[in-house]
């Protein structure tokens, strides 16, 4: 009886989630980008869809092209030499990326 009650709960939970969230939103097309293996595969050639989906970022960054340039630079990195592995936890991975420095000690990706 307990398992049937649990199953009923999860069925109702799934129905409620489907009712409350619009899974056709364009956000879900590029949310996978935070996954290190997807990011390293360079499936997304540009970050423009993010700027289109969140227009407030235009005002905040006002550097869409600089961010796109950095995204392409990121794609060309030798990820292994920077200890960036696709199996890393996403939070740890991107923390490493955001803290990368060039030879002058400047942030490698200041607009990310």
Instruction: Tell me the CB-side half-sphere exposure of residue 43, using CA atoms within 13 A.
Output: 12
Residue 105 falls in which region: left (phi positive, over 0), alpha (psi -120 to 50) or beta: left
Question: Does 4 fall in a domain?
Answer: no
H-only helix segments in the chain: 2-20, 27-30, 36-41, 48-53, 56-61, 64-76, 90-98
Number of domains comprising the chain:
1
pLDDT digits (tens, 9 = 90+) for 53-86: 888 877 666 677 788 889 999 999 999 999 999 9
Question: Does 18 fall in a domain?
Answer: no
Model confidence, pTM:
0.71
- Residue range of the domain that includes 37: 25-112
């Amino acid at each position: 009886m307990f398992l049937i009650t649990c199953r009923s709960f999860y069925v109702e939970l799934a129905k409620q989630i489907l009712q409350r969230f619009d899974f056709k939103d364009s956000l879900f097309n590029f949310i996978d980008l935070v996954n290190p293996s997807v990011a390293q595969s360079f499936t997304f050639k540009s970050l423009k869809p993010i700027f289109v989906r969140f227009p407030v970022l235009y005002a905040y960054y006002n550097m869409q092209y600089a961010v796109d340039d950095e995204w392409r630079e990121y794609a060309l990195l030798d990820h292994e030499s920077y200890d960036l592995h696709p199996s890393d936890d996403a939070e740890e991975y991107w923390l490493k990326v955001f803290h990368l420095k060039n030879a002058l000690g400047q942030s490698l990706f200041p607009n990310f």
